[in-house]
Amino acid sequence: MAARFASSKSFCSSFLFSSKVSWLFDEVKVRDFIHAALYDPERGYFSQRSGSVGVLDRSIKFNQLEGRKAYMKYLNAVYKQSDISWFTPVELFKPWYAHGIAEAIMRTANLSVPLKIYEIGGGSGTCAKGVMDYIKLNAPTRVYESMTYTSVEISSSLAQKQLETVGEVGSHLAKFTVECRDAADPNGWCMMALPFRPFVILTFADLPCHEEQPCWVIMLEVLDNLPHDLIFSKNQVAPWMEVWVEKRHEGPDLCELYKPIEDPLIESCMEILDLAKDGTTHGTMAASFARSIWAKLVPKPRRCWLPTGCFKLLQVLHGALPKMSLIASDFSYLPDVRIPGERAPLVAAKKDGNSSDYNNYLDAKAFSMSSQLLTDYSWRPRAYGSYCNWI
């Protein structure tokens, strides 16, 4: 079995943390705050247990459901029985969803070379098993026998679950690897590409950090759970500020801090989204003057969420896998978002099959919530093109 486990303040909120989470007693960027809430090894939402990702006992018999109403009723019953779990499309529509992905790969891949597939955030392993099942049944034998499927999973509990799911078919395990690490960390890709060389000490400069061969990368419902940053402006024309989260030493309150924008990742995202640091917009001098007067008369604070986690991951993947073909699927619409700001997240907790949404991302109890952020697909090609000259 191949397996590797490798300075003004506002928006204050009462927030209880374990004393073990020492970083929260200092100032952190919003993206680091979200990353810890979701992925902290000890307290993170996805790290605590594999049950956060739902698994159906059997495939849904859609031919036995009389339309959308019957499907929604069935789905509601599934959620009520699942306590804390969320179900992704690849699970709800198994095995057909994964089979469709496998068919798309087979139609376009160069099958004269060994097929390499990477999956980021593979959940319970349903996609991996479905893709490998389909290739085993429908591709030439040599394609299945020479293929490799590598799952990069940040949660150790989900990594173990993936091995169990894929292992239901014994022949898959020789081709399947789980790497328990953060896909957005470029160092992890360096170690992955390192060939086995016993008794040799290598420096970081010696490590190969990219895969030269063509490959496929699958990311299903990953982008919405990546950390985002938040910027704030006190009115329509004031400069944008970075938002940080501060844990007050004298109590359990969390507060926002506003600082001048200096973070390179935030600056890069703002440039792609055409957001000027000084808060100005394109237009005539007269229009700018009118906006300035209006901002003084009727000041309206602005908040904007930036997909810095997505930008960083795409940047790392492009550097590590320059010949990759990417398959990504995610939410392009989130209903009833209560948190203010453009591209604001839907932060919710789930218990006993019922979910509840929060009005403030600082109000959610740490490490017991899921944060879903809108995936703006009109932004992604611009982000990708910014560092690989493709739009």
**pLDDT tens digits, 102-132:** 999 999 999 999 999 999 999 999 999 999 9
Q: Identify the residue with better confidence: 193 or 70.
A: 70
Over residues 309-333, mean pLDDT: 89
Q: Nearest 5°: CA angle at 343, between 337 and 346?
A: 35
pLDDT band at 191 (very low <50, low <70, confident <90, very high): low
**Rounded Cα gap, residues 351 and 184, in angstroms:** 30
Q: CA-CA distance, 143 to 138, in Å (whole number)?
A: 10
CA angle 227, 325, 133 (to 5 degrees): 95
> How far is the C-alpha of 326 from the C-alpha of 55, rounded, in Å?
25
Q: What is the CA radius of gyration of the chain?
A: 23
169-173, 240-244, 261-265, 379-383, range with the lowest pLDDT:
379-383
Could you please report the per-residue DSSP string of 89-109? HHHHTTTHHHHHHHHHHHHHS
Instruction: Characterize the bridge pairing of strands 176-180 and 148-153.
Output: parallel
The mean pLDDT of the chain is: 77
**How would residue 278 be classed by pLDDT, with cut points 50, 70 and 90?**
low
How far apart, in whole angstroms, are the C-alpha atoms of residue 173 and residue 103? 21
How confident is the model over 212-238, as a mean pLDDT?
A: 88
The partner residues of 230 in beta bridges, in order of sequence, read 305
pTM: 0.79
Q: Which of 127-141, 227-241, 277-291 has the lowest mean pLDDT?
A: 277-291
Q: Strand 116-120 to strand 229-233: parallel, antiparallel, or no bridges (unpaired)?
A: unpaired
Percent of the residues in the chain that have a pLDDT greater than 70, as a whole number? 68
CATH class held by domain 53-221+323-332: alpha beta
- Report which of 375, 340, 335 is spatially closest to residue 355, judged by C-alpha positions: 335
Supply the pLDDT for residue 122. 93
**Short-list 386, 368, 374, CA closest to 315:** 386
- Considering only CA atoms, which of 229, 362, 221 is closest in space to residue 306? 229
CB-based contact 4:12 (threshold 8 Å): no
Report percent pLDDT > 90 for the chain: 40
Q: Give the CA angle between residues 80, 76, 342 to the nearest 5°.
A: 100
Average pLDDT of 40-58? 72
Locate the domains of the chain by residue range. 7-48+229-306+334-374, 53-221+323-332
Residue 279 confidence (pLDDT): 52
Strand, coil or helix: 141: helix
Averaged pLDDT, 256-284: 80
- Position 13 scores a pLDDT of 44
Q: Which burial class, exposed, middle or buried, applies to 372 when counting CB atoms under 10 A from its CB (0-12, 13-18, 19+)?
A: middle
**pLDDT surpasses 90 at 142:** yes
pLDDT at 237: 76
Let me know: does 228 contact 306? Beta carbons within 8 Å.
yes
What is residue 157's predicted lDDT score, i.e. its pLDDT? 86
Task: Tell me which of 264 and 4 has the higher pLDDT.
Answer: 264
- pLDDT at position 117, please? 97
| DSSP secondary structure letters along 322-364 | TTEEEEEE--S--TT--S-SBT-EEEEEEETTEEEE-SSTTTS
Of the candidates 337, 335, 334, 342, which has an alpha carbon nearest to the alpha carbon of residue 379? 342
- Higher pLDDT pick, 200 / 77: 77
The confidence score (pLDDT) of residue 168 equals: 95
In sequence order, what are the beta bridge partners of 242?
A: 231, 259
Separation of alpha carbons 370 and 347, rounded Å: 6
Q: What is the pLDDT of residue 391?
A: 30
pLDDT classification of 345: cutoffs 50, 70, 90: confident
SS3 at position 207: coil
pLDDT score of 7: 32
**What confidence tens digit (pLDDT) does each residue in 7-28 have?**
333 444 433 333 233 444 578 8
- Asked if residue 144 has pLDDT above 90, the reply is yes
Confidence (pLDDT) at 147? 97
Q: Mean per-residue pLDDT for 249-273?
A: 86
The answer on pLDDT for 259 being more than 50 is yes
Tell me the pLDDT band of 165, cut-offs 50, 70 and 90.
Answer: very high
Which of 153, 175, 155 lies closest to 166, judged by CA? 175
Higher pLDDT, 287 or 239: 239
Give the pLDDT confidence score for residue 79 in this predicted structure: 81
Q: What is the pLDDT of residue 361?
A: 81
> In 15-165, where do the E strands start and end?
27-29, 116-120, 148-153
State the Cα angle at 142 between 138 and 148, rounded to 5°: 90
Residues 291, 53 contacting (CB under 8 angstroms): no
